[in-house]
Amino acid sequence: MKLIRTVMLSMSLIASASASATLIYNEDFSGSAGSLVSAGWSDSDNSNGLELYRTNSASPRGMVGVYDHDNNPFTPDVAIVGALEVNDDAGNVQLMSEIFVMDQSVFSWEVGTLSFFAGVRKANAQGASVEVFNVTQNYSLTGLLTPALNPTAPKAKNTWSFNSFSFLWGNTQQGDELQLRFNGGGSTSANGLQIADIALTKVPTPGPLLLLGLGIIGLALGKRRQ
């Protein structure tokens, strides 16, 4: 009975260590371009002419108006709520999200996940990248990440590709200000990266709690054998 109680305690520690992911920031582009600018989204050329669009405006950009919202090929695609063209007037414009706060505690062994859907406007998005930047401490948490994009064929409608990147939080502390930074790539303002349905989450990893739980189980089983 004592062994059972010990194992149960250990399993509860492991379960606590493997808690579900918590959302830190998300943007589905369901609002207006003006609301994005008011919130703090901006372009590096200070034009702030953010090209936000809906389902019926996807086709002129070479995109389909539906996407695999749950990243499950066995469920029907749904219409995009909204999307944003990263290069609105030049091939080298950087798009910066609003600055948001890390509103929860974070440990060095915990993992962050940045997910979003990406597409290519018209011809190409060569050189496109994204990063998660800690504004408070002035360093990139991820470095420049290259989005996965479906290849386009002439006159073909490009489909949305799901992207998910995992990274460690490093020295990030609760209360730090963070920002997402996108480079659209492409050779002109007529092509480049498209983004939709962004989410940034914190995914607790087992870390010390898992090791403690497994250690307790190992000790209990060892004593049982003796």
By the 8 A CB rule, do 130 and 181 touch?
Answer: yes
Provide the angle, in degrees to the nearest 10, between the axes of the packed helices 2-17 and 207-225: 160
- What is the structure's pLDDT at 62? 86
Statement: the pTM of the whole predicted model exceeds 0.75: yes
Q: Which domains does the chain have, with CATH numbers?
A: 1-18+206-226 (no CATH), 20-205 (2.60.120)
- What is the structure's pLDDT at 147? 95
Per-residue pLDDT of the chain (226 residues; tens, 9 = 90+): 555 555 454 445 444 445 578 999 999 999 999 999 999 999 888 888 788 999 999 998 889 999 999 999 999 999 999 999 997 655 678 899 999 999 999 998 899 999 999 999 877 888 899 999 999 999 999 999 999 987 665 555 789 999 999 999 999 999 999 999 999 988 877 788 999 999 999 987 665 555 555 555 556 556 656 5
Q: Using CA atoms, how far apart are residues 158 and 180, in angstroms rounded to an integer?
A: 24
Q: Using CA atoms, how far apart are residues 225 and 107, in angstroms rounded to an integer?
A: 36
By the 8 A CB rule, do 180 and 198 touch?
Answer: yes
Q: Using CA atoms, how far apart are residues 54 and 57, in angstroms rounded to an integer?
A: 5
- Count CA atoms closer than 13 A to 50's CA, side-chain side: 28
- What is the structure's pLDDT at 151? 65
- What is the structure's pLDDT at 114? 98
